[in-house]
Amino acid sequence: MTTPPQPQDRASLDQEQFLKILSREEAVRRFDDALFPRALPSEMRKLADALGSALAEDVTAPIDVPPFDRSNVDGFAVRSADLAAAGEAAPVHLVLNDEVIACGTAPKLQVASGTATPIATGGPVPRGADAVVMVEHTQPAGAQAIEVRRSASPGQFVSYAGSDIARGEALLRAGSVVGSREIGMLAACGIAEVRVSRKPRVAVISTGDELVQPGEMLSPAAIYDTNGAIVAAAINENGGAATFLGAIPDDEAKLEAAMRRALAGADMLVLSGGTSKGAGDLSHRIIGRLGKPGIIAHGVALKPGKPLCLAVCDGKPVVILPGFPTSAMFTFHDMIVPVLRRMAGLPPRADAMVSAKVPVRIASELGRTEFVMVSLVEGKGGLIAYPSGKGSGAITSFAQADGFLRIDALADQMPSGTDAEVTLFTPHVRVPDLVIIGSHCSGLDLVTAPLARAGLAVRSIAVGSLGGLAAARRGECDLAPIHLFDDKTETYNTPYLAEGLELVPGWRRMQGIVFRKGDKRFAGLGAKEAVAAALGDPACIMVNRNQGAGTRILIDRLLGGARPEGYWNQPRSHNAVAAAVAQHRADWGMTIAPVAHATGLGFIPLTEEHYDFALVTARKQRPAVQAFLDALASDDSRAALERAGFRPA
């Protein structure tokens, strides 16, 4: 036993806890040990409100279904023995009884030998009858009789009482999840309410001075609160009842008050943000004061998700998810969903898995279980899993990926060509109709929009021009959008086509210098003069592009070996260049005209870049490819591209 820490030791203790990173398995084990077993509260719910909940007890059928012997067809209730000798050449004559048994009508008359009673589908079979003949198999014989030319076996077209559900039979077991089919069974038995495990009430709090709620104005340096919405939705998807309590600033007193209030009315508390060791690192300090035993794990060997904090305060789980939305979601699904589902009485989540080949090497950090989101496409020998390389801060990688693969903590990479197990986000693989892999351009969405409206699933994976060409050669995509300048021939794209690929002209994008409107240093200049002016002013900061980008080649040519301030700022997208200039982090950079205009920047045109498609000839006849080519050539797409500032080829 060590002595309890004194207040002045707090900071160093926190530091120590964070440095003591647990393996994923150890963290799960400790969290489970602190939470389970536990009593699961239950409650009665009306059928309609029970959807998605787990039954808290077995349900026994209180009645037979159907409750009586019931006709399955429209026809006549008969005695099968009367028809034993019936045949094409030997019609049997039956006199009709003086009643018609409709649905909901209880029969009054007995079916005596030589008679039949008209009966509707769902009508109760009358006394004396043991079979039903279909109306189509009879002929009228005067007003009050029929002729039957085929025999009927006993029980023909009759559903016997209790044949569907027998009274006293176990209808549903405790723990079954109530879905529409279960609701149907319960309703058929006349059950209006069932006892279900009460949904755990989960309070959700976002933390951070920078957070603004969707719908509100974004102030400078602020970002929209993504975790609040996504965590609350994921809780509801997994059997919990989430209450989102908003974003709380990084203020110890305010946060503590909010956490205490939240815990008072909830079974579980999920926070996000504030777990890294920044100035706003408060929540885990507060947890120590909220109840015993407090923090179970702070720092788990997961990637993304290392700063995850797991705690139990007076029996209630308190979780602090990492701030980055994708990190938050991975840790939530991997570590918190199992706990939530157990608290909701639900069975563990059964995720669908598929195997897929990884076409590129994926580097991984040694010592951390790493999750990598992937998009699936169909390759020649099966599924191919493309890692979406956007990093843990990216939310789109989550929404657009099909699933994820896991790289073991003991591996420092997953080699290219590995057969990996992919956990799907949805129960089935969504195989896209059209696969586009290569360089991304906002114009692409304008061309594929009509395809999506026509119900074709288009998958577009941004891996850059060269990556796209490689994918096309391997037959993993239909089209690879490229914009590659060839120095030798001074032409775009065509020199890069390998065998089996053909060029489909796309559109032209004007590249040029962006600056803030009103910046006198650039007013009225051409591109070369503008760069000269910028180089002549030591206070003028540029923003560059990443190595390998077509734009970078143009910039380096213009700079002619100069390395002005800002040269090493090398973002990977046209939009990032425009944002850097618009937000005064840089004064000039190079981007494409549509992005410059959308950002409201001044633009000096330099040269037109060709954005074309390398089409896999073998796939040309596929309907989705034809639909794409039609869309590309259509007046609508061309007009849309022009409106956005592109020039269709």
Instruction: By CB under 6 A, name the binding residues for ligand AMP.
Output: 206, 208, 210-211, 223, 225-228, 272-276, 278, 280, 322-325
| Dihedral sign computed on CA atoms, order 623, 625, 630, 631 | positive
Find the shortest distance in angstroms from Cβ 233 to ligand AMP.
13
Beta-strand relationship, 316-321 and 268-272: parallel
Residues 221-280 binding Mg ion (CB under 5 A) are 273-274, 280
Kind and range of the H or E element at 179?
none
Partner from Mg ion, ligand AMP, none binding residue 370, C-beta < 5-8 Å depending on class: none
Amino acid, single-letter form, for residue 95: V
* Min dist. Cβ of residue 250 to Mg ion (A): 6
Least distance from Mg ion to the Cβ atom of residue 275, Å: 8
Closer by beta carbon to ligand AMP, 226 or else 544: 226
Beta carbons within 10 angstroms of residue 387's beta carbon? 22
| Spatial contact of 350 and 423, defined as CB atoms under 8 Å apart | no
Return the bridge partners of 597, or none.
none
Residue 258 or 461 with smaller CB distance to ligand AMP: 258
Residue 599: contacted member of Mg ion, ligand AMP, none (CB under 5 to 8 Å, by partner type): none
> What are the tokens at 232?
């609350």
State the nearest-atom distance from the C-beta of 279 to ligand AMP, in Å. Answer: 9
**Tokens found for residue 70:** 């019931």
CB under 8 Å to 342, separation ≥6 — which residues? 35, 36
Closer to Mg ion by Cβ: residue 251 or 519: 251
The closest of 215, 248, 204, 628 to 451, measured between CA atoms, is 628
Q: C-beta of 244: minimal distance to ligand AMP in Å?
A: 11
451 binds, among ligand AMP, Mg ion, none (CB under 5 to 8 A by kind): none
As measured in angstroms, the least distance from the Cβ of 365 to ligand AMP is: 18
Angle among Cα 313, 317, 319 to the nearest 5 degrees reads 105
Q: Which is nearer to ligand AMP, 194 or 211 (CB)?
A: 211
Q: Residue 258, SS3?
A: helix
Euclidean distance between CA atoms 374 and 120, whole angstroms = 56
Least CB distance from residue 229 to ligand AMP, whole Å?
A: 9
Residue with tokens 């589902």: 341
Name the residue number minimizing CB distance to ligand AMP.
Answer: 323
Place of tokens 């160093």: 12
Site string for Mg ion, 280-309 (x = CB under 5 A): x-----------------------------
Stretch that binds Mg ion, among 123-131, 201-209, 338-346, 527-535 (CB under 5 A): 201-209
DSSP run (H or E) holding 565: none
Cis preceding-peptide flag for 293 (omega within 30 of 0): yes
How far is the first Cα of the chain from the last one, in angstroms, to the nearest whole number?
76
Return d(Cα 607, Cα 245) in angstroms, integer.
Answer: 52
Among ligand AMP, Mg ion, none, residue 192 binds (CB under 5-8 Å by kind): none
For residues 4 and 16, give the distance between their C-alpha atoms in angstroms, rounded to a whole number.
Answer: 14
Q: Judged by CB, which is closer to Mg ion: 205, or 312?
A: 205
CB-nearer residue toward Mg ion: 72 or 276: 276
Q: Which does 589 bind (CB under 5 to 8 A by kind): Mg ion, ligand AMP, none?
A: none
Least Å from the CB of residue 396 to Mg ion? 21
Return the residue of 118, 123, 124, 208 that touches Mg ion, per CB under 5 A.
Answer: 208
Residue type, 420: A
Residue 48 DSSP code: G
Looking at the Cβ atoms of 210 and 237, the one nearer to ligand AMP is 210
Partner in contact with 228, chosen from Mg ion, ligand AMP, none, beta carbon below 5 to 8 Å by kind: ligand AMP
Enumerate binding residues for Mg ion (CB under 5 A).
208, 273-274, 280
